[in-house]
Amino acid sequence: MPGTTRGYVGFGKVGTTYAWTGQSVTAPGMSSGDEHNFGLAYGVGAGFNLTANVQLVGEWEQHRLDFRSGRENVSMYSLGLRYKF
């Protein structure tokens, strides 16, 4: 939002993630090993413009990743500052 000094913004994202996962298990009946693949990724976020160039941002992302034991959803939460120049 060029020129905006205060205010909230929201956004969404959809894409893919390439992940390489490793699993080391000592329990009977479970297997250890590595998996790597592309998986679906999506998320939502919101930001608050502190000034025209600085924004406080919070995000949630969901990644669909392959593990040796099967495909799992992995959530990620983040909080950060953005500087626009």
Query: Could you report how far apart the first and last alpha carbons of the chain are, in Å?
Result: 12
In-domain check, residue 27: no
| pLDDT computed for residue 2 by the predictor | 54
- SS3 label, residue 38: strand
In-domain check, residue 73: yes
In-domain check, residue 45: yes
Q: Print the domain residue range for 68.
A: 8-22+34-83
In-domain check, residue 56: yes
In-domain check, residue 48: yes
- Checking if the pLDDT of 4 tops 90, the result is no
- CA 22 to mean position of chain CA atoms: 19
The three state secondary structure string of the chain is: CCCCCCEEEEEEEEEEEEEEEEECCCCCCCCCEEEEEEEEEEEEEEEEECCCCEEEEEEEEEEEEEECCEEEEEEEEEEEEEECC
Predicted confidence band of residue 24 (pLDDT cuts 50, 70, 90)? confident
Q: How many domains does the chain have?
A: 1
Note if the pTM is more than 0.85.
no
| pLDDT computed for residue 1 by the predictor | 46
Q: What is the pLDDT of residues 41-83, one digit of tens each?
A: 999 999 999 988 999 999 999 998 877 677 778 899 999 999 9
CATH number of the domain enclosing 71? 2.20.200
